[in-house]
Chains A and B, each alone.
Chain A
Amino acid sequence: MNKLKSIGIVIALCFINAIGWAQDMNSKAEEPTDFMRSEGKLYVVVAVVVVIVFGIFIFLLNLDRKIKKLEKKM
């Protein structure tokens, strides 16, 4: 009887663990899965910085072209 009881408790504990594990899985599933939303949306900031760098780069290329035109005239 005592043995049966302890086995029962062990099985019950297994289920508790399983329930806990299932909850773990659930909370994981709620977390955003795509790349941009990972790491606390940090990649959004990266994208924004890339846009700014790109914009300034285009501006500088434009400037470069103008300087080249002036150099040719010299």
Chain B
Amino acid sequence: MDLRPLRDAPSPEERDAIDAALGAPAAPPTPLALGAAEALRPQLLSALHAAQSRVGWVSRGALGYIAERLHMPPAEAYGVASFYALFSLTPRAERVAHVCDDVACKARGADALAAALEAALGPAGESTQGIGWHRSPCLGLCDRAPGVLVQCAGATPLEAALGEARPDVVLEALRRREVPAEPPTVIHQPREGLRLLQRVGVADPTQLDAYRAHGGFLALRRALTLGPAAVVRELSDSKLAGRGGAAFPTARKWQAVAAQPARPHYVVCNADESEPGTFKDRVLLEDDPFAVIEAVAIAAFAVGAEEGIVYLRAEYPRAYTRLTEAIAQCEARGYLGDNVLGRGVRLRVRVARGAGAYICGEETALLNSLEGKRGEPRSKPPFPVEVGYLGKPTAMNNVETLVAVLEILREGGEAFARRGTPQSTGTKLFCLSGHIARPGVYEVPFGTKLSALVALAGGVTAGRRVGAVLLGGAAGVFIGPDELDLALSLEDARAAGATLGSGVVMVLDDTTPLLPYLRRMAAFFRDESCGQCVPCRVGTVRVEELLSRVARKKPLDSWAAETERLEALAQTMCDASICGLGQTATSALSSALARFEILPKDEPSP
């Protein structure tokens, strides 16, 4: 392969920023050994982040220099950079506000916020004196909606989330390059019985000793004493199922990786929480980062890995800071490193950032992204437990799943399994948002009634009644006010044709029309489809167009034909898409059509 570099040179600032991310280049440049370029590739996203956070966008010079440093074809580097929404390959304002206008924020004033910013700064995407704004899919700030992510490029770049954002505060933050500190997370339920959330809001998340004082690292000690096989056994006794949406038995996953002869093994923590309406992992990552790290270390020990990687969505800057600082403290104190707790075990944990792509929450897309590629899902089988990160056996778990492992090791698998229902053990985090009195993360045992959970969050906004509840996220289902009796367990949800998904409970009151939300979700899937397979790439567009016609009350032909069209689309997307995104993209829409009156009743006159 003869690489032909881009002719444009990076600016000195860009070059320095990229070198800071990749390390100083060898002088004189040394030729690479065969296959060595592949090993450089995983650094691509962090190099792109470095260039963009320095000058606000990824210029030709910067991209060309990155491609040169990583010995990769510029066309491929461009293909990767242009996949991620947070990278801009055209000049962009240095200071931007990404305004969430997704479902949960839409229910709490996002449209008004966007309109105010448009009045002040012009249309989305434009730059006024280096300041601009963009619309964004869910930023995971649904408990403090509407949410905004502020990014200011420069020598000391600023990235910060802003909840309950008012237009004046956002504008002031952009002008002054300063974001008011986010208040600590509030837990709105009684603290007794909290397990996953036990330290949130109690222990200082920036201090290792505070973590230790609240039971930190006891689980890791126990795991090192028990040995890998016994850890998996405890997990098996606990019947822990994955909390990311698929509910796969965690013990089976770990067992499968541990048994693979290929080496090395890897552990990946999926912290790319992007399902609209989901923010539970953000709360854990920000307010209990040591717990996440401890759990990743335990997972690595159990499956025979020495490296754990937390793949974190780039929209969570506070979690990034907290995690990286916590990892440094753990290394300094011997909780991570070459000789963990003096037991001769080597465990390292690092954080890799995404760059704005919902699809990277899909495990194989995430792996590609970690490898510095486009976040396109891989064909399964083979599954990541066999062929994962860099082609090696990889155990990938959601943040909440991993934190639950700490509980299992502290109290034992059987004790853990006594909570919840026989088939859905333990407690579960739910993300309550929308028209609810006290939005936030709530922890309840599996089997709790949905009505009880809504009541725990203070019920529907004063004076209103439940109109619809979005359960499980954009890839979940809408249920009606007559179904609040549903017990929140995997088996009950399945029996009711619903899903708990990532724990989203977004409530819409009875005065809210559903169609704008369905259209927002259709737009979301269209934006977030990776574009690989035809059913999803084109199907999501056709679904959105169909909903536009519903909104305009103008069918192509008749509503009966539109219904048939939608059914064929939904069936094909479910059946023939490569991954879960396409397969579930019409799930919420189909559930809404079955329960609510969405399509006009009257056929147009011929």
Do chains A and B stick together as partners? no
**A interface, CB within 8 angstroms of B:** none
